[in-house]
Structures are given as C-alpha cells and as structure tokens.
Structure 1
Amino acid sequence: MKKEEKIRVGISIGDLNGIGSEVILKTFEDPRMLDFCTPVIFGSIKILSFLKKQYHINPKLHGIDKTSEILDGRINVLNVWRENVNINFGQEDHSIGAYAIKSLKAATESLKKNEVDVLVTAPINKSSIQSEDFKFPGHTDYLDQELEGNSLMFMITDTLKVGLLTDHVAIKDIANTITPALIEQKIKTIYMALQQDFGISKPKIALLGINPHSGDNGVIGKEDEEVLKPTILKIQESGKLVYGPYAADSFFGSDGYKTFDAIIASYHDQGLIPFKTLSFGKGVNYTAGLTKIRTSPDHGTAFEIAGKNKADEGSFKEAVFSAIEIFKNRKEYQELTKNVLKRQPRKPPQYKNRNNK
C-alpha cells in the first residue's frame, strides 16, 4: 500500500522584527507536529538559524533552494533570499516589511502551483509592508487578488466562528460600504465555507446590526431597517437559516450566540473584540471563500514582546491544525459532491419528429 503523503503547509515568515519567527520555531520545536504535516517555511535558513539561538530552542531545520527538495519529516526552509538581514526587534522597518512580502509572494506562488497544499501566514506590520509593489492593507486583500473567489475574514475556533461584512474599512465609510449585494455575497461565501470546510450541512447564521440597538426601528440610523432587514428576508426566502439584525452590544452577553454556527459582524471591531475576548490565544484567522486555504494566528506582530522569548505559539499552532483540517474537509466534500453528481440519472435523449425541422 502506498504511503499517504503528508499535507504540505507553506508558511510565510511575517515581520522579522515581530514574534512571527518565534511562534513558527516554537510550533515546530515539537517533533510530533511532523506527524501531521510537512512544513515549508519561506524565508532564509541563515536568519532562522540565528533566531533559534536567540530563542534558545533547537528545531532541526532543512535548508532548500527549490520545492523539489522538500522532504517529509523535516522542517523545510526554502531560501527566498540569502543576504544578511539587520533585525531590530520591536521596530517598524520598511526594509523588514519588504522581506515579509518576499516571503508572502513566494509562498503564494507555490500555493498556486500546488507545490504546497495550504498557506499559514505569520503576522505582518501593515504600515511597513506598503511600497510601490505592494499597496494592500493586509494579507486578505492580496490573496483575494491572487487566488480565485471572494475572500471573507472568518475568525474561528471549535465553538465560535465570526465573519465580517467589512474588514479593513474606516468607521466613517462602513454604512455606505454595506449594500444588499455585499450582504448577499458575504453570506453566500460564509454559508459555503460552513458546508464544505466545516461539514455543517444546514448552517444557522446570525447577522449583527450596523447601528446601536440595530437602529431602534430607525431612530438611530436607518441602515438596519432599509438595508439589513429586507436583505435578510430575501435570503430567508431562498431557504437559508439567516437571522437578525441583532443588537451587537448584548449579543455575546448570554449563551444565545452558541446556538448559531456562525455570526457575521458588520465591521471589524464589532466582531473581533468579542471574538478575541472569548478565545484569545486559541483563535484562528481563516480567509474563507478562496480556492486555496489560508490561515493565520489571531494576533499581530506584538512588537512589545518581540525578541524576549515571551510569545505564546498556541494560536499559530491552531492555525496549522485548522489549515490541515479544512484541507481534509474540503477534499472530502469535493469527493462527495463529485460522487453525488455521478449518481444522478441522466436525462433520456429527446428525438425530434422528422416532420419538424
């Protein structure tokens, strides 16, 4: 019997002045991780060997120059660059940001070529990555361009899943950004993700209101009455179990949210503040809606503790496990869908009457 190949997890290095490299190395310091996957870190064997000494840990690294040299049972480090890099922990640095983007672009290209199966991204600094060659606010927007589909920021744990209608949008622009078309697209994306990536056949979804108290029947803004409610009713007519809009201030205050498979927040902080409060260190940022799978930890670069060997790798490890599980779930879903289509009866051929031309 042919030995099943392990899932190849591509890893972008993130901001080297932050905690990304630390949580990556700590994650794979545990040799049991290699029983679940084959990691491929896109960066530099020279810099990671230096950082191992910085953190007093000793995972065995395997430096390679091309993906054909990837070995199972090893922590593969694909050299995206070879020159020395000047690291200043905790500092915002555009030159370091450029290396983060080199790593991300190389990892994404390998993902597109199926040289790796999934992508796990270490945190970047959104300011230091900006350049003439990279003008995206973050990973999600870049991957939305590079990979097919409609991306959605989806924060996940085993028991809590929060998606966003808008992610990196200024507060003043949120109400004008949320349209019926956007709501329908995001719900379609999250509904499909719940089915194919998490095995939930009939998802139940809650949508949080835009304004305080969901607008109080139009007293505090009309967007909930005029945009959210009619769109939710339209979606319900298609058979989807979508409910709301719910007042965001009290929604997470009871166990009521646990009756839903996913919650969709109208904007970034409305969803991420309760998510991180309830699950910080265990949560994963998953980019739903793409043809490829990308996850990341639920934290940022954490410059304040960078280089001090204080970072907890729990969320990054969960991001690796989530990427593996979602990959397997999606593969199973696609096989099941394919088999169902094969079993469907074919329509009998229709013959035209010879007299009809």
Structure 2
Amino acid sequence: MNKAENIIVGISIGDLNGIGSEVVLKTFEDSRILEMCTPVIFANVKILSFVKKTFESTSMLHGIDTIDQLVLGKINVLNVWKEGVDINFGVNDENIGKYAIKSFIAATDALKAGQIDVLVTAPINKYNIQSEEFKFPGHTDYLDKELEGDALMFMVQDNLRVGLLTDHIPVNEVASHLTEALIIRKIETIKKSLIQDFSINKPKIAVLGLNPHAGDGGVIGKEDDAIIRPAIKKLFDKGTLVFGPYPADGFFGNSQYEKFDAVIAAYHDQGLIPFKTLSFGKGVNYTAGLNKIRTSPDHGTAYEIAGKNLADFNSFKEAVYLAIDIFHSRIQYKEISKDPMKIKEKQEERNIR
C-alpha cells in the first residue's frame, strides 16, 4: 500500500470539553474509511480512551509516541502530552484551551514537515485558546502565518462553495477592509483553488455586493460601484469568469448560486448564514490558498450538547473526505500541468459533459 492510496490524515483534537472528540471517534467507527486513509489524532491515548468509554465508541485506538510509529489502517493517537487532563463536558476552561492549542500546533508542525498529508481540525473555543504564546483569532490565521500562500475561508458542500473577502472581523470594519487589491487577490485565490483542488478548468465565480441591493447605483453605499465592480471588471477583462456584484438578499433564495462554481461573500455572516442553511449539517470549512490542505467541520464546540452522545458527526466526516479528495485533485493537477495535451483533453472532456 503506497502513501497515495492511504493518505495520512492528521487530526487536532480541539476543545476536549466540546463535541470534537465525540465526532472524531464516531467518524472512524466505520472501518471502511480506514481503507482510504490513516488517521493520526494529536492528543493523548489515555484521555481518548476515557472519552471512548463515555460514548461507548467501538473505535480501536493505537497509541504512539512518535509519528514514525504509526500503523497504516489503524486509528493512531500521537501522545502530544503525557499528563492527565480533567474533562468537564460543556465547560469553558482555559486549561482545556491550552491542550487544544498544543494539539493544533503539533499537528501543524507535522503538516509542515510532510509527516502527515492533510490536516483536519476539530472545533476550538476562540476565547479560551488566547495566551501570550497564541494570539490568533483561530485556526485559519495561524495557518496563514505558518504555511505558504494566502489563506481564504472557503465553505464547501458538494457543488455549493462559498468564499469570503473578509472573515473574522467586526461588521462595522468590513467596508474599510475592502480594497480593489484585496478583492482581486481573493478572487484569484478562489479561481486557483477551483482549478487545482476541485478540478474545474474554467470556473465561473459570483461576487455578492456589500450593501443592500448592491448599493442601488450608489444610493445605498458607494463601495459596490467604487471598489467591487472595478475589481471584477479588471479580472474579467483578463479572462477570469467572474460576475457581479449581485444583491445578496435574493441570490440564494432564487437559486442563482447553482449557476456558479463558487460564490464570494463580502463578510462572514453574509456567506455563512445561507451556506449553513443549505448545507444541512454536512458543510466543510476548507482553508483555500495554502500550500497544504486543511479542512474542518462547519460547527463549533457545541458545549450545550457536549458529553450527551448527541453530536452529529457528518460534518467532520465530510471534512475528512474533502481533505482526501483535494489531496488526490492536487496530485492530478500537478501531473496534468506537466503535459499541455492533458490539459486540453480535460477541457474537452468537461465540454462534452
């Protein structure tokens, strides 16, 4: 079995007081997933064994102390720490936040070193992870610093893909962050991702307006006409199939999104509210634009149901599947890029379909 057939999936355990460990263990109870990947959970095997008993999970855990001890086809748990940790499901605990970051940083280091092929992150609490050593709003910002590229939050569920021009910033600061250069960079990042990560040769991209009715010709805000529209025109004139800005209120309700390979929202809730409404708990948060692959479920720690054996693991499972699919797509993209004839064949194949 070679590495391409059994991808090494690194998993950061997230907030142990939340539902992360539950959805991780439930995902790998189905042994069929171990035929396509080998998980390495960055945590502590004794703690996960405790969690396993709590949820009566059937997942068989294999504890290791170094990454080279992993066994293909097993659920490996890399002991990032040795000491015990008090778990109190549903409780916001700064100490638990420290272990979430220990897991995440160790997994990121392994990703950078090529010891794992992809990274899937379980949910963290953005408040309790803050410290003198870790001052980032979340996973994406840290990965943007540590990995090569330009990180972009890209929500994915089958053919529904929603990217963001701005992500974790206050709504009253969104307009001041929007510049023509930023918009062009983000659109180019999504275009590249659609081509290399999703095998779409000539992607069509829609951009939502910032203001109600996309500004109504300047009556309700100037940003759409003064900043967003010129950026779109520049890219379109160079051959990128990007359109807009579209009024955001009716765009998803009348199914306009189905005509495009991706939609770019101006800010967090503008994109994520319709996405989560349409994705039915199977959405994935993909960090596009980086030289490494990272996905996560589209939900948080869910303290209110933590420890009650109620968590739906489908979003986490889809995050694992998407990471695997993108890994294969990037291999194929590299192979095709070496041969111009293969690119032409792919384009013709897509046109036929």
Which residue pairs with 1:243 in the alignment? 243
Q: In structure 2, how many angstroms separate the alpha carbons of the residues matched to 1:282 and 1:100?
A: 23
| 8 Å CA contact 2:336, 2:342 repeated in 1 | no
What is the identity percentage for the equivalent residue pairs of Structure 1 and Structure 2? 66
| 8 Å CA contact 1:18, 1:307 repeated in 2 | yes
3-state secondary structure, aligned to 2:263:
strand
Q: 1:262 to 1:115 in 2, by over 3 A?
A: same
Q: 1:128 to 1:341 in 2, by over 3 A?
A: farther
| 8 Å CA contact 1:25, 1:59 repeated in 2 | yes
| 8 Å CA contact 2:7, 2:324 repeated in 1 | yes
- Opposite residue 253 of structure 1, the aligned amino acid is G
- Opposite residue 293 of structure 1, the aligned amino acid is I
Q: Does 1:58 align with 2:28?
A: no
Aligned-pair distance for 1:281? 1.3
Which residue pairs with 2:40 in the alignment? 40
3-state secondary structure, aligned to 2:338:
helix
Matches within 5 A, 1:17-96: 17-96=17-96
Q: Does 1:317 align with 2:317?
A: yes
Which residue pairs with 1:294 in the alignment? 294
Which residue pairs with 2:231 in the alignment? 231
Q: In structure 1, how many angstroms separate the alpha carbons of the residues matched to 2:62 and 2:18?
A: 23
Which residue pairs with 1:285 in the alignment? 285
- Opposite residue 92 of structure 1, the aligned amino acid is N
Aligned-pair distance for 1:338? 2.2
Q: Does 1:152 align with 2:152?
A: yes
Aligned-pair distance for 1:31? 1.0
TM-score by length of 1: 0.94
TM-score by length of 2: 0.95
Which residue pairs with 1:167 in the alignment? 167
Q: In structure 2, how many angstroms separate the alpha carbons of the residues matched to 1:340 and 1:112?
A: 30
Matches within 5 A, 1:195-206: 195-206=195-206
3-state secondary structure, aligned to 2:217:
coil
Worse-matched range after superposition: 160-169 or 230-239: 230-239
| 8 Å CA contact 1:282, 1:314 repeated in 2 | yes
- Opposite residue 140 of structure 1, the aligned amino acid is T
What does the per-residue CA deviation read over 1:191-221, in whole Å, with 9 as the maximum and x for residues that have no partner?
A: 0000000000000000000011111111111
Gaps of 5+ in 2: 344-353
Gaps of 5+ in 1: 344-357
What does the per-residue CA deviation read over 1:216-251, in whole Å, with 9 as the maximum and x for residues that have no partner?
A: 111111001100111111111101110000000110
Root-mean-square deviation (CA, aligned residues, Å) is: 1.5
Q: In structure 2, how many angstroms separate the alpha carbons of the residues matched to 1:129 and 1:192?
A: 32
Q: Does 1:265 align with 2:265?
A: yes
How many residue pairs were aligned? 343
- Opposite residue 152 of structure 2, the aligned amino acid is L
| 8 Å CA contact 2:40, 2:78 repeated in 1 | yes
Which residue pairs with 1:141 in the alignment? 141
Aligned-pair distance for 1:340? 3.4
Which residue pairs with 1:339 in the alignment? 339
| 8 Å CA contact 1:280, 1:298 repeated in 2 | no
Which residue pairs with 1:348 in the alignment? none
| 8 Å CA contact 1:155, 1:275 repeated in 2 | yes
Q: In structure 2, how many angstroms separate the alpha carbons of the residues matched to 1:297 and 1:84?
A: 27
Matches within 5 A, 1:104-123: 104-123=104-123
Which residue pairs with 2:186 in the alignment? 186
Q: Does 1:212 align with 2:205?
A: no
What does the per-residue CA deviation read over 1:41-87, in whole Å, with 9 as the maximum and x for residues that have no partner?
A: 00000100000011011211000000110111110000000111011
